Amino acid sequence: MTSHTQKALTEIARIRDGFAVSGYICDQKIATALHLAQQLEKPLLVEGPPGVGKTELAKAAAQYLGLDLIRLQCYEGLDESKALYEWQYGKQLLYTQVLREKLSELMDGADTLGASMGRLNDFEDVFFSEQFLQERPLLAALRQDAGCVLLLDEIDKADSEFEAFLLEILSDYQISVPELGTIQAKTRPLVFLTSNNTRELSDALKRRCLHLYIAFPEPAREAEILKARVPELEDAVARQLVDFVAGIRKLDIKKPPAISETIDWARTVLLLSASQLSAEFVEDTLNVLLKFKSDIEIVSPQIQTLLRETRDAS
Amino acid sequence: MFIVSDFVRVLRAADINVSTAETIEAGRMLDMMGFADRDLVKTGLSQILAKSESDKEAFDECFEDYFTALSFAEEQDDKADGPEASEPVPTEGEAPSTASQSPANGGLSDLLLQGDNAALAAAMARAASQVGLAEAKLFTQSGLFTRRIMEAMGLEALEQDLSARRGEGDADGVQAIEGARRKLFEMVRDYVDTQIKLRTANAGRRVREDALSRVKLSNLDRSDMRIMRGLVEKLAKRLATAHSRRRTKAQRGIVDIRKTLRRNQSHDGLLIDLVWKTKKIDRPRLITMCDVSGSVAAYAKFLLMFLYNLDEVIPKTRSFVFSNQCGEVTDLFQEQDLEQAMARAITHYGGGSTDYGQSLSDLAHYIIDDIDHRTTLMILGDGRSNFGHPGHDILRDLAARARRVIWLNPEPQALWNTGDSEMHRLGAYCHLVQTCNTIRHLERVLDNLLRAH
């Protein structure tokens, strides 16, 4: 085994441990992706079904690295002025009004138009300076001294124009603002993009990113996650819960329950102080797991069978 | 980094699009992490090179095949030996003489006699790149390449050695070497087969798909159906991505006063930020009517298959099928999977002989309230009404209300208006009448339909 590999493996193991401390249980794949993203300085595109912890991953990474998390929620119609920067017109106008007298004082004595222009020129940048610049998440992320974790959440919801606009940031960590010039990142931020795959992202974007697909976790790992999130839960119950949910995911339903729903369900179990899963309890609380009426109708007749399978498994 | 670029070539053969930038990135990653941990290499490469769920599946298969063929264990040994040995296969640019030297100098028979499999595999890989195995296109070339590789590995020297030993009467030696040579042949043959399979497995499929998309739908074998289904899905997906992008189009030069005023309220009513008028591009509302009587059922099946997959771009599609009467299958299509829905539609409505008059009046009854200036009516049928009333007056009324009426006829144009075909009367009220009997035709029609809106 070579020293490079050894080093990488140690680093990956360290990431896994570090994440576990902040309550995020990640597998080898996720840790490797994070390690690569750091080492290669590439953005990480995270895809997977809703509720498997894509956004959580970014939060956990920020916590692990001790950096600020800057988040940009994408939506249809999101544009530069919401994502990058905006001039505060109102403030600029107000200042011009207030400074009007001062300005005329300044102009005093300039005979020709040219001379006034000359004087104004000396102050040209006053109104287009940092003072009037409203930072939005992307600019803020580039100007962090210590670096940060930048999360572009649900990038698939934004328009393809916005996607194209992001390319400069994603590949070179810089953006061009016409009035200020090109702004380079002081420290390169660690960028996460998440997508629920509601539409196909462009190849150009994908090419610039590492791609991590998070699927529903194995029952054993999901039990670990439950343990970390709901520590009061007994091991046996956790295992039973997880197996039951895994059973549901195999059925043909509209929206299979995600990890976040399993966690909610575990909390419900605690709240109602149920010591084990009974058919009755499941029937009553199924709406925590399933969000569509049609799904509940599919699952409820099968509760007994699913519970039996769970029991056999354990 | 021959390994990386060669592996990327295999991935591309498996329909995964890998760019040069990504290849470089993969090289950087391997430099950083080395080859020693197989899982680590696999995970890392998959994150860099495969960018969607289906790509990842294909990637996993390629990775397993490729690195078994190359014998992974041996590679890490080489890597550990030092920088010189870190490239088990020389790049094509290097002088081949240096590559072939070691085995050619009588080394091959020694290697065979010692049974040093790792060294043999390395020599084989080197010889393979020297004779350009990566360029092989067809599985029929495997014999040729096997021979060439064996020659590059020093077969000639081996033969000479063999005849020399024969001359000396070293019977044991001769037998041992002959046995070893047979083993070597098997080994090289295996290696060549795997390599060619890796690189050309998809080429065959691609040729087949290309041919299938041009063949008449009625001439398809049952065995082609599976490939065809995949093909239809792929085309539908392509159309969907091409047309799901832009739904508004800016009309530069016309200011949208209302929006501008609202946007600039915060600037004290000063119009600093202008908003241009945009034109919304409507997605078409589609109503389809397919003939499912025996003669054209094969075509209807594909049209419906296409529409089934296009659901994402044309969400408000109502589908009807008819033979001697017309019935709606929209719900059936939404609730059941394709095969089942098709079968039910055909058994339920497909029995009788075609009656256009009755079917069109049924259709009018269902849709007359729903059809407006945004609706496109698409009819698939051969226009043969068994000498009954063609119902052209009903079609005229429908066409007056609809945005467009498109008639797709599976028959070639030369056959229209012969016998009981009523195309001249029905076609008069359509905006577009077209022959449509291959997947290509179908794609073109739907592409135009989506673009026109």
The tokens for A22 are 């902040």
Looking at residue B1, what is its pLDDT? Answer: 63
Quick check: A12 and A31 in contact, CB under 8 A?
Answer: yes
Nearest CB partner across the interface for A93, out of B32, B241, B268: B268
The answer on pLDDT for A241 being more than 80 is yes
User: B312 pLDDT band (50/70/90 cuts)?
Assistant: low
In tens, the pLDDT along B203-261 reads: 666 777 777 777 776 666 666 667 777 777 777 777 766 666 555 666 667 888 888 88
Quick check: B382 and B295 in contact, CB under 8 A?
Answer: yes
The answer on pLDDT for A123 being more than 80 is no
* Cβ contact B25–A40 (<8 Å): yes
Looking at residue A44, what is its pLDDT? Answer: 94
Looking at residue B245, what is its pLDDT? Answer: 56
Measured distance CA(A75)–CA(A152) in Å, rounded: 11
Measured distance CA(B39)–CA(A29) in Å, rounded: 9
Looking at residue B282, what is its pLDDT? Answer: 64
As a whole number of Å, the CA-based R_g of chain A is 27
- Strand pairing partners for B377? B287, B405
Q: Which residues does chain A have within 8 Å of residue B236's beta carbon, measured at their own beta carbons?
A: none
Cβ burial, residue B94 (10 Å; 0-12/13-18/19+): middle
Quick check: B286 and B375 in contact, CB under 8 A?
Answer: yes
Quick check: A266 and A228 in contact, CB under 8 A?
Answer: no
- The residue type of B310 is L
The pair phi, psi for residue B409, each rounded to 5°, is: -115, 125
Place of tokens 């429908």: B398
Measured distance CA(A242)–CA(A226) in Å, rounded: 9
CA separation (Å) from A83 to A151, A163, A186, B386? Answer: 12, 12, 18, 64
DSSP state of B282: P
Concatenated DSSP letters for A118-186? HHHHHTGGGTTSGGGEEE-HHHHHHT-SS-EEEEEETGGGS-HHHHHHHHHHHHHSEEEETTTEEEE-S
Q: Which residues does chain A have within 8 Å of residue B52's beta carbon, measured at their own beta carbons?
A: 47, 206, 211
Q: Crossing angle, helix B155-168 and helix B107-114, to 10 degrees?
A: 80
* Cβ contact A160–B245 (<8 Å): yes
Interface test with A, best of B51, B260, B265, B335 (most A CBs within 10 A): B51
Measured distance CA(B128)–CA(B122) in Å, rounded: 10
In tens, the pLDDT along A277-313 reads: 788 888 888 888 888 888 888 888 888 888 888 877 6
User: B98 pLDDT band (50/70/90 cuts)?
Assistant: very low
User: B271 pLDDT band (50/70/90 cuts)?
Assistant: confident
Place of tokens 């572009």: A152
Helix count (H) and strand count (E) of chain B?
20, 8
Measured distance CA(A246)–CA(A223) in Å, rounded: 11
**Helix ranges (DSSP H) in B252-337:** 257-263, 297-309, 330-335
Looking at residue B87, what is its pLDDT? Answer: 39
Concatenated DSSP letters for B153-174? TTHHHHHHHHHHHHHHT-HHHH
Interface test with B, best of A36, A52, A163, A197 (most B CBs within 10 A): A36
Nearest residue to B147 via CA among B196, B185, B109, B200: B185
Pairing of strands A44-47, A210-213: parallel
Looking at residue B102, what is its pLDDT? Answer: 41
The answer on pLDDT for B80 being more than 50 is no
CA separation (Å) from A135 to A177, B272, B351? Answer: 12, 19, 68
Can you give A241-278 as a three-state secondary structure string? HHHHHHHHHHCCCCCCCCHHHHHHHHHHHHHCCCCCCC
Nearest CB partner across the interface for A207, out of B22, B32, B35: B22
Interface test with B, best of A4, A15, A26 (most B CBs within 10 A): A4
Measured distance CA(B200)–CA(B9) in Å, rounded: 11
User: B302 pLDDT band (50/70/90 cuts)?
Assistant: confident
Q: Which residues does chain A have within 8 Å of residue B36's beta carbon, measured at their own beta carbons?
A: 1-2, 4-6
The answer on pLDDT for B72 being more than 50 is no
Min distance B5 CA to chain A CA atoms (Å):
17
The tokens for A248 are 């549901």
The answer on pLDDT for B69 being more than 60 is no
3-state secondary structure of B321: strand
Q: Crossing angle, helix B297-309 and helix B225-244, to 10 degrees?
A: 40
Query: Which residues have CB under 8 Å from A29's CB, separation 6+?
Result: A212, B43, B47
Concatenated DSSP letters for B377-437? EEEES--B-TTS---HHHHHHHHHHSSEEEEEESS-GGGTTSTTB-HHHHHTT-SEEEE--
Q: CB distance from B252 to chain A under 8 Å?
A: no
Measured distance CA(A92)–CA(A81) in Å, rounded: 16
- Strand pairing partners for A121? none
Place of tokens 């000063």: B270
Measured distance CA(A198)–CA(A202) in Å, rounded: 13
| Predicted model pTM | 0.69
User: Residue A215, by phi and psi: left (phi above 0), alpha (psi -120 to 50) or beta?
Assistant: beta
The pair phi, psi for residue B116, each rounded to 5°, is: -80, 90
Q: Which chain A residue's Cα is nearest to B244?
A: A199
Quick check: B130 and B96 in contact, CB under 8 A?
Answer: yes
CA separation (Å) from B15 to B11, B22, B25, B55, B403? Answer: 7, 15, 19, 8, 39
In tens, the pLDDT along A128-154 reads: 777 888 889 999 999 888 889 999 999
Quick check: A194 and A152 in contact, CB under 8 A?
Answer: yes
Q: CB distance from B51 to chain A under 8 Å?
A: yes
ipTM reported for the complex, 2 dp: 0.82
Q: CB distance from B28 to chain A under 8 Å?
A: yes
* Cβ contact B44–A36 (<8 Å): yes
Q: Which chain B residue's Cα is nearest to A159?
A: B245
Quick check: A78 and A159 in contact, CB under 8 A?
Answer: yes
Terminal C-alpha separation, chain A: 38
